[in-house]
Every structure is written in structure tokens, then in C-alpha cells.
């Protein structure tokens, strides 16, 4: 690690100034354009969801259920997080826009399986809303870093969904985005059909950080968080490279009850 280059002041999307004012003016104009809701084809504006679908998607995070302070998992009556109790997470906390359940799961399906590249901005808007309403604010100088996709999935989809969401989110929140801080060291196995134990082992040694990031507040952006094993492995890598904190921003958090794998571990 000693010979690695050192992170310099990251470029930010300026929150003030001509460029950002122009961006905000464009967004304000786009927000007035009549469009169809992605979910129900009802009346919407600016590529957003209609008010009813927006409320339905975001309801899961606003129903008052207690959530794990670290990984944002909705807790049951036992009030114990089945993911964090098995493995103390290396990341500090997670903010999720909605639970990976109907109807929000359809939005993820459209983005990833349906390759609706253009819906990344709308989804980033939902995540930006969750960030603004989070109990603890992100550090002002935090750097967004998307989870890198495998070459196989980029070949299949033509883009990395996490990277597109991170890019849109950076503009909306006026944050720096540095995809180059996290590299995929090897291809690894697709995690979609893996169980919990397999997910943890398959994430190990999958990622690397090519420079020192001493004292940096890193925010890792991903589309779906299932067990947290990917974010855990990434946080280990980034903290070994000097990161002061590693938080996760995910579009959707998979509820424990809806997982294909229920074995603890
Ligand atoms: Zn709708
Ligand atoms: Zn947890």
C-alpha cells in the first residue's frame, strides 16, 4: 500500500456557480414536461413516477418499522439483525431508497434486465430523496464510488447500473464521484443465485483500491443490497487503503423474508 498513489482533492459537481445553475434550470424545465409513469403508464412529469406509484414505492421506508442502524434491514419483533449478528459489518451504515419488494423491485428489473438506461436518473432521484431525509447527513466532502460491474454483465447490458445511478446522484447532490477508486480485481461468480455463505466467500478478494484514500469519507453506490457481503468486502478494502468511513447508498434493500436463501451464516 505504501507505494500506491495518494488521492488528491476530488473533483466535485459544484453546488453553486454557472454550471450548476444551468443544470438546475434544465432540471426544472424537464420536471414540467408531461411523461408517462414507468410503472402504471399514468400521468407523470419529467420522467418521474406518478404520485401514487411514488408513494407506493417509498412507503416501505416510511412505515415506521425499526431498521438495523448499520445495514438498514427492516427488523422483526426480535429486533436483531440476522445479517449483522453473524458478521460485524466493516461498513459504517447504509441508506436505502426502498425495500426490494413490489412495486419497487419492478423499477430495478426495468433498469437491469430491461436495460432501461435512462431510468437511472429517476432512481437516483429517489435515492437522493432518501439521503436528504436520512437521520444522519453524509459528510460534505464524501466521495461517491459505484460498485464496479463484471465485464460479462457490462457486455450483456451495455452499462453498469450502479455507475449510472452514482453519476446521476453526484449531479443531484453536488457530490464528487470517483469510479476509479474501486476496481474489480477478478470476474468472480454471478451472485444472483448464490446463498448467503456463498455470497460472502465469492465477494472476498474481488475488489481492490488502486490508491491511498487516507481520511476520506467514501460512499459506495449499488443498485440492490441483499446480504451486505459485497459492501462488507468493499469496506474492508477501502478501510485498508485508509478510508475514514465507508457508507453504502443502495436503491433497494432486500427484506430478509423475501430472500431466496434463508440459511444464516
Ligand atoms: Zn404510476
Ligand atoms: Zn444489519
The per-residue pLDDT for range 191-250, each reduced to its tens digit, is: 555 555 555 555 557 999 999 999 999 999 999 999 999 999 999 999 999 999 999 999
Name the DSSP class of 50: -
Asked whether residue 6 is assigned to any structural domain, the reply reads no
Name the phi and psi angles at 38, rounded to 5. Answer: -60, -30
pLDDT in tens, 116-141: 888 999 999 999 999 999 988 898 88
The average confidence (pLDDT) of the chain is 86
Cα of 68 to ligand 2 centre, how many Å?
A: 5
Ligand 2 is an ion; residues with CB less than 5 A from it = 68, 70-71, 73, 81, 83-84
Give the mean pLDDT of 76-89: 88
pLDDT value at position 66? 92
Asked whether residue 8 is assigned to any structural domain, the reply reads no
What ligand has the least distance to the C-alpha of 81?
Answer: 2
Cα of 122 to ligand 1 centre, how many Å?
A: 13
Supply the range of the domain harboring residue 161. Answer: 18-258
Give the mean pLDDT of 95-103: 96
Cα of 77 to ligand 2 centre, how many Å?
A: 14
Higher pLDDT pick, 181 / 60: 181
Q: Tell whether the model's pLDDT for residue 32 goes beyond 70.
A: yes
Round to whole Å and give the CA distance between 68 and 119. Answer: 29
Asked whether residue 155 is assigned to any structural domain, the reply reads yes
Q: Tell whether the model's pLDDT for residue 29 goes beyond 60.
A: yes
Handedness of CA 51, 56, 62, 67 (dihedral sign): negative
Give the mean pLDDT of 160-173: 94
Let me know: does 223 contact 251? Beta carbons within 8 Å.
yes
| pTM of the predicted structure, to 2 decimals | 0.87
Name the DSSP class of 117: G
What ligand has the least distance to the C-alpha of 55?
Answer: 1
Largest Cα separation within the chain, whole Å, is 56
pLDDT-derived band at 263, boundaries 50, 70, 90: very low
Residue 99: which region, alpha, beta or left (left: phi > 0; alpha: psi -120 to 50)?
beta
Q: What's the domain count of the chain? A: 1
Amino acid at each position: 500500500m505504501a507505494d500506491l498513489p495518494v488521492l488528491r482533492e476530488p473533483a466535485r459537481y459544484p453546488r453553486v456557480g454557472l454550471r450548476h445553475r444551468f443544470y438546475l434550470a434544465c432540471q426544472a424545465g424537464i420536471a414540467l414536461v408531461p411523461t408517462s409513469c414507468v410503472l402504471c403508464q399514468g400521468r407523470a412529469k419529467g420522467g418521474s413516477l406518478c404520485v401514487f406509484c411514488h408513494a407506493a414505492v417509498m412507503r416501505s421506508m416510511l412505515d415506521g418499522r425499526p431498521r438495523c442502524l448499520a445495514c438498514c434491514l427492516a427488523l422483526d419483533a426480535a429486533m436483531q439483525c440476522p445479517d449483522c449478528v453473524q458478521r460485524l459489518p466493516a461498513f459504517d451504515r447504509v441508506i436505502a431508497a426502498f425495500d426490494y419488494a413490489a412495486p419497487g423491485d419492478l423499477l430495478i428489473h426495468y433498469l437491469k434486465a430491461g436495460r432501461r438506461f435512462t431510468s437511472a436518473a429517476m432512481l437516483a432521484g429517489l435515492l437522493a430523496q432518501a439521503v436528504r431525509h436520512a437521520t444522519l447527513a453524509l459528510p460534505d466532502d464524501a466521495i461517491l464510488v459505484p460498485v464496479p460491474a463484471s465485464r460479462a454483465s457490462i457486455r450483456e447490458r451495455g452499462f453498469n447500473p450502479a455507475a449510472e445511478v452514482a453519476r446521476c446522484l453526484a449531479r443531484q447532490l453536488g457530490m464528487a464521484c470517483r469510479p476509479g477508486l474501486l476496481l474489480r480485481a477478478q470476474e468472480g461468480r454471478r451472485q444472483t443465485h448464490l446463498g448467503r455463505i456463498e455470497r460472502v466467500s465469492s465477494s472476498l478478494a474481488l475488489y481492490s483500491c488502486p490508491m491511498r484514500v487516507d481520511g476520506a469519507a467514501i460512499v459506495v453506490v449499488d443498485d440492490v443490497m441483499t446480504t451486505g457481503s459485497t459492501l462488507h468486502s468493499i469496506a474492508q478494502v477501502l478501510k485498508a487503503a485508509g478510508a475514514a468511513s465507508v457508507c453504502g447508498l443502495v436503491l433497494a434493500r432486500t427484506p430478509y423474508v423475501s430472500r431466496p436463501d434463508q440459511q444464516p451464516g
